[in-house]
Amino acid sequence: MQQKLRKIRLRKISGRPRKIKIRYLGLALMLGVMIWGSHTTVRAESCPDLKIVFARGSGGERNLTDDYLEFKSTIETKLKTIDLSYEFIDLDYPAVGVGFDSPEVTLGAAFGSGDAYEFGESVNTGVKNLKKMINNEKCANTQYVIGGYSQGAMVVSKALSGLDSNRIIYAATFGDPKIYLPEGAGIIPAACKGENLSDYRMYVPDCQAYKGLLGAYIPYEPSKYAGKVGTWCNKRDIFCSSHLNVSDHVSYVADALYEDASRVIFDKITKYFGIENHISSPHDTAFLIDSTGSMAGMIDTYKAEALRLAKETLAAGGRVALYDYRDLDDPYREVEHCNFETCTLEVFEDELAKIEISGGGDTPESLLSASWHAMKTLKWKYGSTKSLVVLTDANFLSPDRDGMTFDEVVALSKTIDPVNFYIITKPFNEYYYGDLAAATDGKVVTNFDELSLLTDYIMERYDSLPRVEENEAMERPILEIDSVQQSGEAEMTVEFTTNGVRTMVILNDTVLGVTDDVLVTLSGLDAGVENVLTLVPLGDDIRGEGVSVVLEMKNSGTVFVPKAPDTGKLN
């Protein structure tokens, strides 16, 4: 792991710590677009039902940014379908802007022009003002939705613990440099296996996303906010994923992540106010029909319900697929009658009529193998609501005769989006299917009189983008701090060892730059504050976990043991 020892120095300029000789990462950081803004009142009253507050990112001019306008318009389009008064507010806080001292400090410019303290002061001012707005709200019935992007996301996530949670319907963060996803930790993270996904993980494709570039706020979802927090991190966003892509950090509009979030937010709003939500997303619905002999007495009813749901799905612009299954000992494998590309209404109806009832034997059937096969082979549409409708009179084998297990099926369902399982069966089977439906956020229906209600329930569901997409874990670089010495008045020198190709240097939430050296000297440090240095090892296209140390200045040189990597502090 040892690299050639070289030295870089960070010197004091105009009263603020700045760095020199920190090498440019080589990425085109047009960070002027990392912004949010504006204050817009729409159908506002003195005490509106709802206030929607957004904290913009670094340097955004109020009322003019594409990101704010997209966030506003995607929510407002849906609010216009219901009867609520509402107001959009851009949070009043500095949102310190981007400056370019020199080409080498472009990364540092992302956070307060490389000023170590101005950025933190900006975030803290945002937190203070958000608390004042919500906690001092005079209107007894006014509720809030809050959101933030980049620097603004830090404001929101840091403020949560100090806000009146009874006032908050939902909090959404985008590209948060302080994200925390414990399922992304380890050599082979749980998220890469579709396991233990955080409830607030709405769209984070990278299964190795763990902590943000600037550390993490822990807990990210305080207990009093259960079900009220959601985070979106673009595929390879350098600030919240494990990757190093800057363009993904400024593409939340282009990649329709605000539209995705607006469906989640609108659903939370309508549920809180007890209003019907008729906003849906495109549907992909696959039907699995048990075709064993015991189904003879009810197959016509099941086929009629499948056809009705297929008609509504296709009429709404969705897609359908059709399979039947029996038992692997029959012998009988699952049969694909038509898939999402080939299933027109005419084809679906013809293929449905061809399903014949025969065979069987013991009671349990091979649903696990059939559902795994269908989910794995179908080409699910990105961002669609994904449903698997099972029509059966029997329970299922677990493990199946080919070894397929309940856990494997549930994990695949969650990895895809999830795929929600809806099981239509006899009352005595509800016990067997309850766990499967619950694990995939689906439903069991045992009363034939409720079949039409199930169709309506499925059609009115929305869905967000897949919670996780990239399932292969990459080897992440690691870093160890060897020594921390006071090398002069208000000056500290840090020596470290890494197997990364470069190291990002961060002081007090300010990205100073990137170096390929293994010795960092910082000067002009303020002894009146806690100076936290974080070193983040970088590979070619992936970053490792940052290692942090508190720089305590004394009269003589002293060696310090690094503190834990988490540098998040909640007010």
Residue 487 binned pLDDT confidence (cut-offs 50, 70, 90): confident
Domain membership flag for residue 485: no
CA distance 391 to 442: 14
State the average pLDDT for the chain.
82
Question: Distances in Å between the alpha carbon of 322 and those of 68, 155, 396?
Answer: 42, 48, 19
Average pLDDT over residues 222-251: 95
Please list the residues that pair with 364 across neighbouring strands.
none
Q: What is the pLDDT of residue 461?
A: 66
pTM listed for this prediction: 0.66
Q: What is the pLDDT of residue 503?
A: 94
| 315 and 380 housed in the same domain | yes
The candidate with the shortest Cα–Cα distance to 390, out of 362, 409, 408, 415, is 409
Residue 312 binned pLDDT confidence (cut-offs 50, 70, 90): confident
| 265 and 144 housed in the same domain | yes
Last residue of a domain, one of 444, 459, 474: 459
Average pLDDT over residues 68-91: 94
Q: What is the pLDDT of residue 117?
A: 60
Q: Are 490 and 523 in contact (CB under 8 A)?
A: yes
| 230 and 302 housed in the same domain | no
Q: What is the pLDDT of residue 283?
A: 87
Backbone angles phi, psi at 391, to 5 degrees: -120, 110
Higher per-residue pLDDT: 203 or 22? 203
Task: Name, of 76-90, 303-317, 373-387, the range with top average pLDDT.
Answer: 76-90
Higher per-residue pLDDT: 268 or 45? 268
Higher per-residue pLDDT: 419 or 312? 419
Range of the domain at 225: 28-273
| 306 and 234 housed in the same domain | no
Please, what is the angle between helix 406-416 and helix 367-377, to 10°? 20
Last residue of a domain, one of 214, 243, 273: 273
Domain membership flag for residue 491: no
Last residue of a domain, one of 273, 296, 317: 273
| 248 and 216 housed in the same domain | yes
Domain membership flag for residue 557: no
Does the structure show a pLDDT above 90 at 48? yes
| 77 and 153 housed in the same domain | yes
CA distance 358 to 324: 12
| 443 and 360 housed in the same domain | yes
Lowest mean pLDDT across 112-121, 211-220, 255-264: 112-121
Lowest mean pLDDT across 116-120, 286-290, 421-425, 466-470: 116-120
Domain membership flag for residue 401: yes
Judging by DSSP bridges, how do beta strands 510-515 and 143-149 pair with one another?
unpaired
CATH number at residue 314: 3.40.50.410
| 60 and 209 housed in the same domain | yes
Domain membership flag for residue 562: no
CA distance 377 to 75: 34
Does the structure show a pLDDT above 50 at 113? no
Residue 73 binned pLDDT confidence (cut-offs 50, 70, 90): very high
Q: What is the pLDDT of residue 331?
A: 77
Higher per-residue pLDDT: 348 or 100? 348
CA distance 368 to 238: 38
Does the structure show a pLDDT above 70 at 133? yes
Q: What is the pLDDT of residue 173?
A: 98
Task: Write out pLDDT tens, residues 197-214.
Answer: 999 999 999 999 999 999
Does the structure show a pLDDT above 60 at 232? yes
CA distance 152 to 130: 11
Lowest mean pLDDT across 103-112, 217-226, 282-291: 103-112
Residue 162, SS3 per DSSP = helix
Higher per-residue pLDDT: 116 or 169? 169
Domain membership flag for residue 7: no
Higher per-residue pLDDT: 491 or 13? 491
Domain membership flag for residue 349: yes
Residue 36 binned pLDDT confidence (cut-offs 50, 70, 90): very low
| 318 and 180 housed in the same domain | no
Task: Write out pLDDT tens, residues 244-270.
Answer: 998 999 999 998 899 889 989 999 999
Q: Are 564 and 547 in contact (CB under 8 A)?
A: no
Lowest mean pLDDT across 9-23, 301-315, 347-361, 535-549: 9-23
Q: Are 284 and 384 in contact (CB under 8 A)?
A: yes
Q: What is the pLDDT of residue 569?
A: 39
CA distance 252 to 303: 42
| 443 and 402 housed in the same domain | yes
Work out how many domains the chain is built from and give that number: 2
| 452 and 308 housed in the same domain | yes
CA distance 393 to 167: 46
Q: What is the pLDDT of residue 463?
A: 60
CATH number at residue 67: 3.40.50.1820
Domain membership flag for residue 498: no
Average pLDDT over residues 351-359: 90
Does the structure show a pLDDT above 80 at 370? yes
Task: Write out pLDDT tens, residues 411-465.
Answer: 999 888 789 999 988 888 888 899 999 899 888 988 765 666 677 677 666 666 7
| 332 and 433 housed in the same domain | yes
Percent of the chain past pLDDT 90, that is, above it, reads: 54
